[in-house]
Amino acid sequence: MAILPILCYPDPRLHKVAQPVQAVDARIEALVADMLATMYDAHGIGLAATQVDVHERVVVIDVSEERNEPLVLINPEIVWASAERHVGDEGCLSVPGIYDGVERAAAVHVRALDAQGKSRTIEAEGLLAVCMQHEMDHLMGKVFVEYLSPLKRNRIKTKLLKQQRDSRE
């Protein structure tokens, strides 16, 4: 397993739309293992393949306290979302150190293939539902800061570009 580099906003590769996985094979299994290792190493609760510059529809999530309940979603799609919505603070491994309120469906049902290629539907609410929606946004080329006002988004972009410049010096 390898720790993969995570793209940082405003990297344009974060805006690429991911393509469906054609087959759950050894390459996808290796990608999932590397993504899980990367997510745990970065202390995240979710990671989309887009964030590691692989533009296929793969997401890994673990919202458990013990960090021992990994969830793999391949070709995920929301098949139902509640009308009830909540605003909660979100962060992102691609937007380090930034947290802000985003409105999301309170509950979702997501159909996806698991790590073995079996189809399943997951009914999620709370943090898991938020995390699924957040990671699936990445697969569509959308970063959570795009839900914020243009002023906030520009401030975040400026701050992160400055941090990236400073870290290279």
Binding residues for Fe cation, as ranges, are 92, 134, 138
SS3 88: strand
Long-range contact pairs involving 114-120 (C-beta distance under 8 Å, separation at least 24): 114/72, 114/73, 114/74, 115/24, 115/29, 115/32, 115/72, 115/74, 116/24, 117/23, 117/24, 117/74
CA distance 54 to 64: 25
Binding site residue list: 92, 134, 138
**Is 94 in contact with 51 (CB distance < 8 Å)?**
yes
SS3 38: helix
**Is 49 in contact with 58 (CB distance < 8 Å)?**
yes
Which residues are marked as active site?
A: 135
Longest dimension (CA), the chain: 48
